[in-house]
Amino acid sequence: MPVGTKGTVKGLTPEDLREVGAGIVLGNTYHLYLRPGANLIKEAGGLHVFMGWDGPIVTDSGGYQVFSLAQTRRISEEGVEFASVYDGSPHIFTPELTTRVQEDLGSDVAMVLDECPPADAGREYHEESLQRTARWARRCKAAHENTDQALFGIVQGGLYPDLREESLGLTVEIGFDGYAVGGLSVGESREGMLKTLALTAPRLPAEKPRYFMGIGDPVGILKVIALGVDMFDCVLPTRLARHGAALSPEGRLNLKNAKYRKDFGPLVPGCPCGACINHSRAYLAHLVRANELLGHRLVTLHNVRFIVDLCRRARREIGAGRFEAWSRAWISRYEGSDQAGQMS
């Protein structure tokens, strides 16, 4: 899911997203609540109308900001008190408020309010946190009134297998339309993340969507798909583009590298995105080095298309019963070429 934090996937129009095949986008409740405000968006007809996107939208609950803005918030049983990143004004997110805000935004999938502890938090804190997240989840479900909007629960518990099992049991017992694995990709090792996910994802209800919060690199995507994940989001494809990096089957292409100054081939031969069809690596490298907005936009268009196409291909390989072998070969090619490029 491309991330549209403030009601826009950075650099792309809704028409761009439809053109590259994106089927769903993610909005950020924390930022949209603060600016322009959920009431204004509701008055406009909801987030779909406001941003001109007619596909599905997922909104998070603001729980990740509980983790990422640790210096400006205080957690209690009632909710999370925090200072606005825009003007420092005080606010409090409760399970009831974040549920109502997401209903006002009119998203298709809303997330419960959860706490996402840092990777280095101790066991005792993780245990206390997962219990609080479960209590908040019950309050979110009780407050949720929009039957046309799905509500997803979130499993926490850090890297502790027994705590993950405890959180999973509590969350599934409450009962939601889908389930997310949270509290990963927050500073732990990739090995620890995958090991924890391997213990968690297969035990979630098979008939409900499984959502991994916060992964967007090609190899990571294929590895979490292999473990049973259906949905994932990350700002990585768009963030890489703003730093001049393009995704390819041979790894990341750093367009600031001098070797692309006179490279008149496409970013990825055969890629149907507008950047690859109409422009050369040399031109895109020039735009990136000159810090031109068009360069950021074109590379973003390519990177999002690359990830969408990778997921589409993964679905085909799963359907054909070839995913494991295909994924292994794809990752080997990507990592081998990427490492070779970094060494050079």
- Among 214, 234, 254, identify where a domain stops: 234
Along the 344 residues of the chain, how does pLDDT read in single tens digits?
999 999 999 999 999 999 999 999 999 999 999 999 999 999 999 999 999 999 999 999 987 776 677 777 899 999 999 999 999 999 999 999 999 999 999 999 999 999 988 888 999 999 999 999 999 999 999 999 999 999 999 999 999 999 999 999 999 999 999 999 999 988 899 999 999 999 999 999 999 999 999 999 999 999 999 999 999 999 999 999 999 999 999 999 999 999 999 999 999 999 999 999 999 999 999 999 999 999 999 999 999 999 999 999 999 999 999 999 999 999 999 999 754 444 33
- Among 234, 262, 296, identify where a domain stops: 234
**Is the same domain home to 292 and 162?**
no
The C-alpha atoms of residue 221 and residue 323 are separated, in whole angstroms, by 13
C-alpha 260, offset from chain centre: 30
**Is the same domain home to 257 and 150?**
no
Question: What is the pLDDT, as a whole number, of residue 109?
Answer: 98
Three-state SS letters, the chain:
CCEECCCCCCCCCHHHHHHHCCCCEEECHHHHHHCCCHHHHHHHCCHHHHHCCCCCEEECCCHHHHHHCHHHEEECCCCEEEECCCCCCEEEECHHHHHHHHHHHCCCEEECCCCCCCCCCCHHHHHHHHHHHHHHHHHHHHHCCCCCCEEEEEECCCCCHHHHHHHHHHHHHHCCCEEEECCCCCCCCHHHHHHHHHHHHHHCCCCCCEEEECCCCHHHHHHHHHCCCCEEECCHHHHHHHCCEEEECCEEEECCCHHHCCCCCCCCCCCCCHHHHHCCHHHHHHHHHCCCHHHHHHHHHHHHHHHHHHHHHHHHHHHCCCHHHHHHHHHHHHHHHHHHHHHC
**Is the same domain home to 38 and 7?**
yes
**Is the same domain home to 136 and 209?**
yes
What is the per-residue pLDDT across 9-48, written as a single tens digit (0 to 9) for each?
999 999 999 999 999 999 999 999 999 999 999 999 999 9
The C-alpha atoms of residue 48 and residue 194 are separated, in whole angstroms, by 34
**Is the same domain home to 251 and 122?**
no
Instruction: Provide the 10 A C-beta neighbour count for residue 129.
Output: 23
Task: Give residue 72's identity as a one-letter amino acid code.
Answer: T
Given 114, 217, 233, 338, the catalytic residue: 233
**Is the same domain home to 211 and 311?**
no
For residues 86 and 72, the answer to whether their CB atoms sit within 8 Å is no
Catalytic residue flag (residue 60): yes
The C-alpha atoms of residue 297 and residue 221 are separated, in whole angstroms, by 23
- Among 193, 215, 234, identify where a domain stops: 234
Phi and psi, residue 271, nearest 5°: -70, 130
For residues 210 and 181, the answer to whether their CB atoms sit within 8 Å is yes
Question: What is the pLDDT, as a whole number, of residue 65?
Answer: 73
**Is the same domain home to 82 and 224?**
yes
What is the per-residue pLDDT across 46-100, written as a single tens digit (0 to 9) for each?
999 999 999 999 999 987 776 677 777 899 999 999 999 999 999 999 999 999 9
Distances (CA, A) of 26 to 7, 173, 264: 8, 26, 35
For residues 5 and 31, the answer to whether their CB atoms sit within 8 Å is yes
Number of folded domains that form the chain: 2
Given 60, 104, 217, 338, the catalytic residue: 60
Instruction: Provide the 10 A C-beta neighbour count for residue 49.
Output: 12
Question: What is the pLDDT, as a whole number, of residue 20?
Answer: 95
Catalytic residue flag (residue 148): no
Please enumerate in sequence order all residues whose Cβ is within 8 A of that of 50, keeping only pairs 6 or more positions apart, or say none: 7, 41, 44
**Is the same domain home to 202 and 254?**
no
The C-alpha atoms of residue 263 and residue 30 are separated, in whole angstroms, by 42
Strand partners, 25: 57
The whole model's pTM is what?
A: 0.94
Nearest by Cα to 267 from 305, 238, 313: 305
CATH number, residue 203: 3.20.20.105
**Is the same domain home to 145 and 287?**
no
Is cis: bond before 36, omega within 30 of 0? yes
**Is the same domain home to 225 and 246?**
no
**Is the same domain home to 275 and 318?**
yes
C-alpha torsion sign, points 80, 237, 218, 26 = positive
86, two tokens: 């825009």
Domain boundaries, position 335: 239-343
Instruction: Provide the 10 A C-beta neighbour count for residue 286.
Output: 16
**Is the same domain home to 17 and 165?**
yes
C-alpha 184, offset from chain centre: 12
Question: What is the pLDDT, as a whole number, of residue 343?
Answer: 33
Question: What is the pLDDT, as a whole number, of residue 341?
Answer: 44
